[in-house]
Structure 1
Amino acid sequence: MAEELQVNEQTEDVNQDVDQEQEGIKTFNQDEVNKMIAERVAREKKNHEKEIEQAIEDTKKEAKRLSELSKEERDSEEHDKLKQELAESKARLARMELESDTIENLKEEDLPIEFKTFLIAENAESTLENINLFKPIFLDAVQAEVEKRLKGRTPKGSNTVTAKVDKKESQSDIADYANNKRVI
Structure 2
Amino acid sequence: MSVTIRSIHTTIDEIHSEGGRPVEPAARVAVVLAVIENPWAGQGFVQDLGPTIDAVAPELGKLLSARVVSALGAPVEAYGKAAIVGLDGEIEHGSGLIHTLKFGDHFRHAAAATTLLPAVEKRAPAGTVFDIPLKHVTDATIRSHHQTVEARVPDAPRADEIIIGLAAAAQGRPHARLAPLASEQ
- Name the TM-score, length of structure 2 as normaliser: 0.18
Whichever structure has more helix as a proportion of its residues is 1
Whichever structure has more strand as a proportion of its residues is 2
- Name the TM-score, length of structure 1 as normaliser: 0.18
